A and B are shown apart, each in its own frame.
Chain A
Amino acid sequence: MRLAPTAALAGLLLATACWRSHGRYTEIRNLGSDTMLEVAGAWAEAYDQVTDHIVVSVSGGGSGTGIAALIAGKIDLANSSRLLKPEEVARARKRDQDPIAHKVGFDGIAIYVHRDNPLRCLTMAQLKALFGDGGELTRWSQLGVDLGDPKLDPIVLVSRQNNSGTYEYFREAVLGGAKGRFKLECMNLNGSKDVVDFCGKARSALGYSGLAYANDTVRIVPVMRTDEGPAIAPSTATITAGTYPIARPLYMYTNGPPRGATQEYLDWILSDDGQRVLMHQGYPPLRPL
């Protein structure tokens, strides 16, 4: 899984070098989110088969890095797993730049429990009361779940380290915006996979992590947007349809409206072919394919 994008990047670097020596190609410089690195690499690689006059060079470094480079005019296309922050908008204005967001796909965040946990579903309000600072839900019995041992009744909350994109998105979407705070009782694990592994080992755990990391030691809990609404399990279908509530859009930013090669590339990413590449990487596409 790790090797493929690395190989893709190496190939792109080589292609870039060729472009420099021949001068026949247009290069699109694409930089940003680490979450999107694999899918951005897959897009660039697939696009190489489609066109013979455009080369896309991709690198990571984080959403913030990509946006800063776009505002500084160093790149053509910035990958970001979040919208611009107010201070970034202000800095762009000061430099007379106009970053425009283009939604290119989705990333679903699933709620995980141990595979033996019988929990049927959770509402968004319950999730906030579980993970949010001051929330009153701390025991499985409060949710009508009996794990068969009083020691297992306290809910073990599993979160991520405080600067991961998943952490920030969960805070935005579930804990009520940027001012939201997690309970201090949360464990803060250092990777999407670690959260799922932990939930598979601890019977009283409740965690959130990327949909793509599911395995058979855990169960994904369906989520209800409102107290009455239907319980929706995350899948590419429900996320694309917008019925699953905890999915974040993935963006590419251009400086001003896209032009020339960048526009061609972006149009292809939004086409069925481009969206199929995204789906193969395990991310929900913008519309049903």
Chain B
Amino acid sequence: MVPAPGSHQGLDRLDGAWWRDWAARVLVSLGGISAILFIVAIIVFIASQGLEFAWNRLSWAELLTGARWEPTANPPRYGAWPLLAGTAWITAVAMLVAVPLSFAAAIYIGEFATGSRREWLKVTIETLAAIPSVVWGVIGLQVLNPLIQQWFDTPVGLNVLNAGVILGLMAAPIMTTLAEDALKAVPDTYREAAEALGATRWQVIWRVVLPHARPGLSASVLLGIGRAFGETIAVLMASGHRLLPPTSVFDSAATITATIAAELGEAAVDSDHYQVLFVLGLVLFAITFSINLLADGLVRGRRRRA
């Protein structure tokens, strides 16, 4: 006799509660698998849109090193080097802003703040992460733009510095949360041992806690970089979108994401221009995917040692 699902006589009964339980289990596992399904579907979609062009007519060497991005000129040029360089510059500035800010916040919340102040700070920082990126873009366009012109006496306020500061502020909250987790993972016995040896508060943090939390802190930076790399609309509004590799933070620059956002809407479906934008999307995906993988590896490495 083949037992019906869950029909271990005497233990389970096929009543309403059993079916509700079963339905919940199916829903939860579907939810779990759906993330993987979506990611695979997205990769397949992006790849399929750009494949024909990437296979037949695209020069990868030109795409990755070419200096001119002129997809609508005659003849068109598909050199995305200025976009890659712009993305790298803006992300670098964003990290210069976000790393000190988020690490300082994490150290304060994790090591110094206590009680309600600590809870209050954590909630505020998490709220900061919920500000929509288009709002950050408007701040860059309307607030930071004239401020940068004034403070640094530059003719243009929409530049690498503007976009980098905006992105840094956007990435800081999530980095703070991750960095604080990394600090919390350092066992208290370490701190107690150091203090017993006569170390001051700062010596404990600087010599014991931070070195031990390094893999987790690196992972938080990498995830922040991934966030900055992939951000679109705020950068489109704040960067000035100039198709030259920047040579200083006061130069305007264009990023991969902003280019896709600005051009995809008007590109004729299945044209070379349309397809090359999907290839750019694939490049972006490859970069952020490897960054996230690296971050994941770092966190796992720490867990194994701990």
Contact = CB atoms under 8 A, between A and B. Distances in A.
A185 B273 contact: no
Interface in B209-262: 236-237, 240-244, 252, 254, 262
Interface string B200-215: 0000000000000000
B195 interface: no
A186 B242 contact: yes
B242 A187 contact: yes
Contacts of B74: 178-179
A163 B242 contact: no
A161 B264 CA distance: 11
Contact of A163 (B237, B240, B266): B266
B266 A62 contact: yes
A151 interface: yes
Contacts of B67: 184
Chain A CB within 10 Å, residue with most, of B237, B240, B254: B240
Nearest to B251: A185
Given A181-B73, A201-B145, A201-B149, A161 B244 contact: no
Interface of B: 67-68, 70-74, 82, 145-146, 149, 153-158, 236-237, 240-244, 252, 254, 262-263, 266-268, 273
Instruction: Tell me what chain B mostly uses at the interface: helix, strand, loop, or mixed.
Output: loop
Contact of A188 (B155, B156, B254): B254
A64 interface: yes
A202 B73 contact: no
Nearest to A65: B268
Nearest to A162: B72
Contacts of B242: 184-188
Nearest to B73: A181
B149 A202 contact: yes
A204 interface: yes
A152 B155 contact: yes
A48 interface: no
A187 B163 CA distance: 14
B242 to A, nearest CB: 5
